[in-house]
Structure 1
Amino acid sequence: MSKTAESVWNNCLAFIEDNITSQAYKTWFEPIKAVKLTDNALSIQVPSKFFYEWLEEHYVKILKVALTKELGNNAKLVYIIRMENTYGNKQPFTEKIPSANRSNLQSQEVDVPLKNKSPELKNPFVIPGIRNVKIESQLNPNYNFESFLEGESNRLARSAGLAVANKPGGTSFNPLLIFGGVGLGKTHLGHAIGVDIKDKYPEKTVLYISAEKFTQQYIESVKKNNRNDFIHFYQIIDVLIVDDIQLLSGKAGTQDVFFHIFNHLHQNGKQVILTSDKAPVDMIDIEQRLLSRFKWGLSAELNHPDYDTRVAIIKNKLYRDGVEMPEDIIEFLANNIKTNIRELEGAIISLIAHSSFNKKEITIDLARKIVDNYVKHTKREVSIDYIQKVVSDYFQMDVDTLQSKTRKRHIVQARQLAMFFAKKFTKASLASIGSQIGQRDHATVLHACKTVDNLSTTDKQFRKYVEDLSKKLTL
């Protein structure tokens, strides 16, 4: 029976599957298609340049053995790189590349790396010039379930996280969106899920990344004309954890590429975990098609910890640090720091440090001094709505007037101040700030911030407005 491209490749696959892990086989060999067989040259189709380079780097030896068994010592392998039409390209891009430094598979130079490789393009986490293509999880092992104490404020989110860790991609919690205010443990829980998955399923590729870092990598890939490699890198992840997803607000290009990555992962049973400082319904300037996908799984809120949980957090922190503290001081801390876990742990660290450095015993008086000082100087989270209300009250107008289209000087200045403080005190993008303050665009917000900076240095009265409002917003 005459050999066909499909029969030769299927025999190669059978051999390869027996000699590598099932996860590696599914990721790197199942997507390949046999295209044609000409004499001793087998042409195979791969979905991207990144994919082809990874095969050459990691699997060229086993490919050589498999193909030599089928086609003899003169066997050749030709890659056809065909970019899938996932990004709105009218025509897929196709390029033919012979295997391994353009040599046939009998050559002794078969596994010499290709020239002009750019490792930083294949893996956005690799430092340019360093040959390391392993995908590191970027997880912090200290952020685990053991140190994420359960309470009424986080029970649903923690339980959902454990369910996902036990069966990533196999529960109805996909995506799992964890949301809540600053310092309530969103990042901790995201890491904890990843750490637990890596422990239970070491073969899975888990990746934690902030939305800000993801955006930077995407912009870099566009600059280097390497967007398809960027997309493919994220499409091979088994568990993707994206922190502060609300920071994609107003970034249309990044949202678009994340949409395609999300769809691919979800359709292939991969797990997506997201954290946000607000619920999907409150996210501004995020595309509707993306928001609808955020709602496919479970949105679990982290609330401010109750008294019992705060006591448990303090005791756990002291136990981990090997420090003893009188019960009345623990109760004092739990009663006086209620806003978030980060502040609570920060106050404990400050108290222990003062006690150690000054060789003083930990007393209620010392605890009171630390708490007063710490809470007073801790930045309070403020919303854009709150900023608009404070500014409107200060100038004795209502919020509707502040947001109106009027060009009256005192109203324009009030609006510009609201935009200035929104940029200073929130993580919102310029586009999001403009959208919430009277449906303005990002250029208007940028102009407002520059105007406030200029007037603060040239106008004494205006400088007083800035100082007064700054005090009110940081009280």
Structure 2
Amino acid sequence: MLPTNLVTVAPTLSRDDTAMWNGVGVTPAADRTDSDPQMANQQPALESLLRSIIGPQSYQLWFRDKTVLTIRNDEFVVRVASPFLSTWLQRQFREPINSVASSVLGLGARVRFEIDGTLAVAAPSANQTLSIAASTSGADATPLGELPKAEKDLPTTLRSVSKNSVAAPSVDALSAPRTESVSRTPNASARRFSVLSDFVGGPCNQLATTAARQVCEAPGERLNPLYLFGGVGLGKTHLLEGLYCELRRRFPSWNIVFLTSEQFANYFTHALRSHTLPSFRQRFRGVDVLLVDDVDFLDGKRVIQEEFLHTVKTLESLGKQLIVTADRHPRLLSQTSEELSTRFVSGLVCRLEAPDLDTRTRIVQHKLTQRVLELTPDAIALVAQWFRNNVRELEGALNCLEAHFALSRQRMNAATARQILADLQRDCVRIVRLADVERAVCDLFRIIPDELRSSSRARNVSQPRMLAMFLARKLTQAAYSEIGEFFGGRNHSTVISAERQVQAWLADDTPFTIAARQWSAGELLQTLEQQLLAS
């Protein structure tokens, strides 16, 4: 079984003739790019190798001017003129193509067929192709009844390709692209990456953006690994994608790989099942820069963690750059091995926080430059004030306004925007309950609810209890007596005292130690509030 994110551009074949042989079509979507300057130099060598296997006649008849052979990152890519030609080549030249890929990329090489309609324009007609094959002289001349020397040395299964190709369908039929595929580009299914220039910086992400610039200047030399964490919709993936694009621009000849931790797990599982672990390890441990999104996905997956740990060790020993993102601090990955989490901490850990009002305003202004939408300054301020949890809420509000703007084509003021966004803003309001506060505090401090409600006066219990009472008073409509009753049957004066104590902590910026990390009182409460309002 192959990973769930397989991409096969060629038409789907029958089970016996499927294009997915020996790992064909397996690739992270982010690895596909046509920006590699080495591709132009690779094609002649690949063509020569394929020609030596299948013979000059078969090569000129079915590949010359109808295909483009390239190595894209760690894949052997065959671009063809039409889906029909793709199907034919996969059936008739499967083993020769796979042999070329294996000789260049090693065992477990992956082959991808892509449709490029532009090749059909340059492809010669059937008569031209056959006349070229018939008029070939010298070393390239190969009578129909005689096999070239290179082909005689091949197994019978490979030699049969050239024989069968004589009775193949007409070249015109294969070269003519289907109507539905003419407008399709080779990278139609490729992932669209965000760029650093679109990332709006502010106090909430200043450290992360500064670290990103330093990594782009000297990958692997400092700030390695770079660990970015924060809540949902705060720009972690955007920043990671921007780093990927910038690094590829600055170092076009480097092997730079971007993928999610789920993709890493899928590839590892597939390698285990297909017995291609050496190829898998060579693929990810031989990179210059590895960028992994949502590494917290590996939390609790012991076997995959072990493989990822050895990958991190190898990259570290070779001085290669590792950049990862997660939704929480490495110390809070409770089911991740200590050795892996400490390696994350050994680099630079950067937190991305919810944007403040000024940053949200600049984000809205920047996004308006990319949309067909006109807002007055007071309408921009309204959107920034109403939707404060993350950037995705801002994008959703702008999408709603843009849809209404398409109807009227009139510049929207604050009154119009307030009327349009009233329902959306009301739906985004998070109703916080006492049980939600209890669960968030217990999760952060790693205690159970019974301890929070107990009569214990130990500091590791009393401090979380006072924080929970403070947040319950701030974020819920519960009275002092209700809060006291919920947290262990206490009276209202206990809740009032806890509220005053937390306010004193905030005024003094009292530090708290959680999982060997120092948190200020303000940072601690902000983290809890964001979790409660976003969950």
Normalising by the residue count of structure 2, what TM-score does the alignment of the two structures yield? 0.48
Name structure 1 gaps, 5 residues minimum.
Answer: 1-22, 25-53, 65-110, 393-397, 405-471
Q: 1:316 to 1:291 in 2, by over 3 A?
A: same
Separation (CA, whole Å) in 1 of partners of 2:47 and 2:301: 38
Q: CA deviation at 1:305?
A: 0.7
2:253 corresponds in structure 1 to: 203
Q: Could you report, residue by residue, the CA deviation over 1:140-167 in whole angstroms, capped at 9, with x for unpaired residues? A: 6651121101110011000100110111
SS at match of 1:275: strand
User: 3-state SS of the aligned residue for 1:351?
Assistant: helix
Larger Rg: 2
Flag the 1:175–1:113 CA change in 2: closer, same or farther, 3 A. Answer: same
The 3 A distance-change label for structure 1 pair 145 and 390 is closer
Aligned to 2:321: 271
In the alignment, which of 206, 221, 224 is matched to residue 155 of structure 1?
Answer: 206
In 2: Cα distance, 1:246 partner to 1:260 partner: 17
Deviations 1:230-287 (A, max 9, x none): 1111012111110000010111111011111111111111110000110111112011
Alignment partner of 1:177 is 2:227: yes
Show the 5 A alignment for 1:445-464.
Answer: none
How far does the alpha carbon of each residue in 1:441-467 deviate from its partner, in whole angstroms, 9 at most, with x for none? xxxxxxxxxxxxxxxxxxxxxxxxxxx
- Residues 156-204 of structure 1: CA deviation (Å, up to 9, x unaligned): 0001001101111122x10000100000000000011111111111111
**For residues 407 and 385 of structure 2, what CA distance do their matches in structure 1 show?**
26
Cα distance change, pair 232–272 in 1 and its aligned pair in 2 (3 A): same
Higher mean displacement: 316-325 or 241-250: 316-325
Distance 1:184 1:113, change over 3 A: closer
Match of 2:197 in 1: 146
Query: What are the residue-to-residue correspondences of 1:24-173 with 2, within 5 Å?
Result: 114=99, 122=108, 142-171=193-222, 173=223
Q: 1:330 aligns with which of 361, 380, 386?
A: 380
Larger displacement relative to structure 2 (141-150 or 197-206): 141-150
Q: What is aligned with 1:282?
A: 332
The answer for the alignment partner of 1:39 in structure 2 is none
**Could you say which residue in structure 2 is the equivalent of 1:343?**
393
Aligned ranges for residues 350-361 of structure 1 at < 5 Å?
Answer: 350-357=400-407, 359=409, 361=411
Shift of 1:336: 1.2
1: distance between equivalents of 2:277 and 2:241?
Answer: 27
State the alpha-carbon separation in 2 of the partners of residues 302 and 220 from structure 1: 34
Specify the alignment match of 1:399 in structure 2. Answer: 449
Matched residue, 1:71: none
Q: CA deviation at 1:218?
A: 1.1
- For 2:337 and 2:371, the matched residues in 1 are separated by 44
8 Å contact kept, 1:139–1:195: no
Question: Residue type matched to 1:335 in 2?
Answer: Q
**Cα gap change, 1:349 to 1:263, in 2 (>3 Å):** same
Q: Report the CA distance between 1:357 and its aligned residue.
A: 3.2
Give runs of aligned pairs for residues 405-420 of structure 1, distance below 5 A: none
The alignment covers a number of residue pairs equal to 293
RMSD (Å), alpha carbons: 4.1
Matches within 5 A, 1:311-390: 311-321=361-371, 323-357=373-407, 359=409, 361-378=411-428, 386=436, 389=439
Q: Could you tell me whether the CA contact under 8 Å between 1:351 and 1:366 is conserved in 2?
A: no
1:207 match: secondary structure: strand
Helix, strand or coil: the match of 1:114? helix
1:165–1:194 Cα contact (<8 Å) kept: no
User: Cα deviations across residues 207-237 of structure 1 (Å, max 9, x unaligned)?
Assistant: 1111111111111111111122111110121
Assess, with a 3 A threshold, how the Cα gap between structure 1 residues 112 and 374 changes in structure 2: closer, same or farther.
Answer: closer
TM-score w.r.t. length of structure 1: 0.54
- Separation in 2, partners of 1:214, 1:281: 22
Alignment of 1:192-271 (within 5 A): 192-271=242-321
Supply the distance in 1 between the matched residues of 2:247 and 2:262 (Cα, whole angstroms): 24
Tell me the SS of whatever aligns to 1:295: helix
User: How far did 1:297 drift?
Assistant: 0.7
Cα offset, 1:310, TM superposition: 0.8
Contact residue 336 and residue 371 of structure 1 kept, 8 A: no
Structure 1 counterpart of 2:220, one-letter code: G
Contact 1:243 1:274 in 2 (8 A): yes
Contact 1:198 1:206 in 2 (8 A): yes
Out of 113-122 and 309-318, give the one that drifted further: 113-122
Deviation at 1:121, TM superposition (A): 7.6
The percentage of counterpart residues that share the same residue type is: 30
Q: Structure 1 residue 373: deviation in Å?
A: 2.8
Aligned partners of 1:304 and 1:338 also within 8 Å: yes
Alpha-carbon separation, structure 1, partners of 2:258 and 2:441: 38
Q: Is the 8 A contact 1:174 1:297 kept in 2?
A: yes
CA contact (8 A) 2:375 2:413 kept: no
Q: Against the structure 1 CA distance between its residues 357 and 215, is the aligned structure 2 distance closer, same or farther, given a 3 Å change threshold?
A: farther
Hey, what's the Cα distance between the residues in 2 that align with 1:279 and 1:391? 16
Q: Judging changes above 3 Å, is the alpha-carbon distance between structure 1 residues 152 and 390 closer, same or farther for their aligned structure 2 residues?
A: closer
Could you report, residue by residue, the CA deviation over 1:408-447 in whole angstroms, capped at 9, with x for unpaired residues?
A: xxxxxxxxxxxxxxxxxxxxxxxxxxxxxxxxxxxxxxxx
Among 343, 349, 355, which residue is 1:305 paired with? 355
Secondary structure at the counterpart of residue 151 of structure 1: coil
